[in-house]
A and B are shown apart, each in its own frame.
Chain A
């Protein structure tokens, strides 16, 4: 550390030395981020005896438990990304352009900030208290319709129940990101559209929507990744009832449930791959969004 400081102390002419100023940061990233990720990659292609193999990667597409886990994870992510994006957009639109009192906007941005960070164990408990077997909403429904949800075989500890829980942190995130984007729509654009004889439909179809599209899609991808990587909420909500990829990896850490360490690594690698694609897609969309909205 001190050696680094000594070298970078004089305002060096050679640009190369300046890179040493951020060396500690990259050292940290290498040790605690890149090496672990690389080891996952490396060990995915390693058989139990240490030789090179593609069996683990092939197993991702052939072992039923793993395919199911990926299917469930992807489905929940898709449902909550699309659902969260649509409802979040409507809410952001209502708050920014819907002519609601100004105070509501401030309140909404605070609440969205809180709700998008309110995940994990407490969120799971809150929803168990809401729609679990003895939850408030469950009792209301039972009281109104005079039925027992339990007798109907109805359960919230499935994919749809978990999707409802995830929505709690998904759509506030959409509100947080879309509100500034909606602010960026300039009045002049609408006026220009009207001057050219366009109505509200034309404005949204040919002006506002194409401009907002990259932000919308980008945020949707972000929401997708957000749900895909979630572990704590699902774990606390349903234990291991719902077979998600993250749950499976967690189980693999606590005990080799797949009876194959290499397979665990491949499972994690698949996750990194999908999340990486999401981030790349998000970054690309962000770039496109920046063209019009600044």
Chain B
């Protein structure tokens, strides 16, 4: 047992080095803006650039739009599959896995070629961008909501609501959504993290966003791009951290339920 332990520590150590070395390097690099001194000047420069807030704001907007429409699309569908159409599950699951088959760059290519010229011209509005982001979010959203629906008794809840005279709108907003809050939130945080750092769609569809902004700064300046990538990393960290934090209670509940 002791031998295994030493070996496990070595593997862990290598893993930690791989994890942290790039982050430490990025921090060190970003602090070297002023010669022979470590300062946070690069961060100051990055945060005083008005374009930063503009592009960051755009990304937040895209993320919120994506979250809104993705939730609107996924929750009723997943609910309906659980309540009325279990046999449709493989087809819905297949669709949600499509972003792994059609990579972002290929989907953008197809979207531009199809909707980028008359008769259907969608290139002037962010429809294609949001649609692309929704596609990206589908696997995470669907899986999260699906897991949430599994843990509640959809049939009983719906029938109870129906017999109390509730309409479908009421059932979805007052019964299903509140019960799925944790599940939806975990999908939301992941979607937020993905959209905030996304580069491919925004860049190729030529919409302002944080990802392309970072890339542009990277080709123009030194030091500030590294400061921005730390910001991006912290953002991802915060989203995933929140996701696991809110998800924790649910997992424990499930374990407790199984006993």
Contact B198 A120 (CB under 8 A): yes
Taken together as a complex, chains A and B put the C-alpha atoms of A252 and B228 apart, in Å, by 29
Question: Which residues of chain B come closer than 8 Å to A167, judged between CB atoms?
Answer: 18
Contact string against A for B residues 228-242, beta-carbon threshold 8 Å, 1 for contact and 0 otherwise: 111011001100110
Taken together as a complex, chains A and B put the C-alpha atoms of A246 and B91 apart, in Å, by 28
Decide yes or no: A279 and B97 within 8 Å by CB, A40-B109, A113-B243 being known contacts: yes
Contact B12 A100 (CB under 8 A): yes
Taken together as a complex, chains A and B put the C-alpha atoms of A87 and B243 apart, in Å, by 26
Question: Which residues of chain B come closer than 8 Å to A58, judged between CB atoms?
Answer: none
Stretch at the interface among B60-68, B177-185, B211-219: B211-219
Contact A126 B26 (CB under 8 A): yes
Interface size range of chain A in the complex: 35 or more
Residue B34, interface by CB 8 Å = no
Question: Which residues of chain A come closer than 8 Å to B77, judged between CB atoms?
Answer: 21-22, 24-25
Contact B244 A99 (CB under 8 A): no
Contact A100 B9 (CB under 8 A): yes
Taken together as a complex, chains A and B put the C-alpha atoms of A101 and B90 apart, in Å, by 40
Residue A45, interface by CB 8 Å = no
* Least CB separation from B6: chain A residue: A98
Number of interface residues of B (CB under 8 A): 83
Residue A37, interface by CB 8 Å = yes
Decide yes or no: A253 and B109 within 8 Å by CB, A232-B211, A279-B100 being known contacts: yes
Q: Max chain A CB contacts within 10 Å: which of B28, B102, B168, B225? A: B102
Contact B73 A253 (CB under 8 A): no
Residue A210, interface by CB 8 Å = no
Taken together as a complex, chains A and B put the C-alpha atoms of A100 and B240 apart, in Å, by 23
Nearest CB in chain A: distance from B69 CB, A: 9
Decide yes or no: A117 and B22 within 8 Å by CB, A25-B95, A32-B135, A249-B109 being known contacts: no
* Least CB separation from B132: chain A residue: A32
Contact A28 B197 (CB under 8 A): no
Contact A126 B106 (CB under 8 A): no
Nearest CB in chain B: distance from A97 CB, A: 8
Contact A271 B8 (CB under 8 A): no
Nearest CB in chain B: distance from A201 CB, A: 14
Contact string against B for A residues 1-45, beta-carbon threshold 8 Å, 1 for contact and 0 otherwise: 000010001010000001101101110110111011101100100
| Contact pick for A127, options B22, B97, B168, CB 8 Å | B22
Taken together as a complex, chains A and B put the C-alpha atoms of A87 and B18 apart, in Å, by 11
Question: Which residues of chain A come closer than 8 Å to B91, judged between CB atoms?
Answer: 26
Question: Which residues of chain B come closer than 8 Å to A173, judged between CB atoms?
Answer: none
Question: Which residues of chain A come closer than 8 Å to B24, judged between CB atoms?
Answer: 136
Contact A94 B236 (CB under 8 A): no
Residue B15, interface by CB 8 Å = yes
Contact A231 B226 (CB under 8 A): no
Contact B199 A249 (CB under 8 A): no
Residue A257, interface by CB 8 Å = no
Taken together as a complex, chains A and B put the C-alpha atoms of A18 and B88 apart, in Å, by 10
Question: Which residues of chain B come closer than 8 Å to A5, judged between CB atoms?
Answer: 168
Question: Which residues of chain A come closer than 8 Å to B256, judged between CB atoms?
Answer: none
Residue A111, interface by CB 8 Å = yes
Contact string against B for A residues 77-96, beta-carbon threshold 8 Å, 1 for contact and 0 otherwise: 00000000001001101110
Residue A236, interface by CB 8 Å = yes
Question: Which residues of chain B come closer than 8 Å to A134, judged between CB atoms?
Answer: 29
Question: Which residues of chain A come closer than 8 Å to B81, judged between CB atoms?
Answer: 22
Contact B193 A19 (CB under 8 A): no
Residue A122, interface by CB 8 Å = yes
Contact A114 B215 (CB under 8 A): no
Nearest CB in chain A: distance from B96 CB, A: 9
Taken together as a complex, chains A and B put the C-alpha atoms of A137 and B236 apart, in Å, by 25
Contact string against A for B residues 9-35, beta-carbon threshold 8 Å, 1 for contact and 0 otherwise: 101101100110111111011100000
Residue A215, interface by CB 8 Å = no
Could you write out 23 A-B pairs with CB less than 8 Å apart? A22-B88, A24-B73, A25-B73, A28-B131, A91-B11, A91-B12, A94-B12, A99-B5, A110-B240, A114-B237, A120-B198, A121-B215, A121-B229, A125-B26, A125-B214, A125-B229, A126-B233, A129-B22, A129-B28, A129-B29, A167-B18, A171-B18, A249-B106
Measured CB to CB, the residues of A under 8 A from B are 5, 9, 11, 18-19, 21-22, 24-26, 28-29, 31-33, 35-37, 39-40, 43, 87, 90-91, 93-95, 98-100, 104, 108-111, 113-115, 117-130, 134-137, 167-168, 171, 222, 225, 228-232, 235-236, 246, 249-250, 252-254, 261, 264-265, 268, 271-272, 275-276, 278-279
The 5 A-B pairs of least Cβ separation, nearest first, read: A98-B8, A36-B110, A229-B103, A122-B229, A129-B29
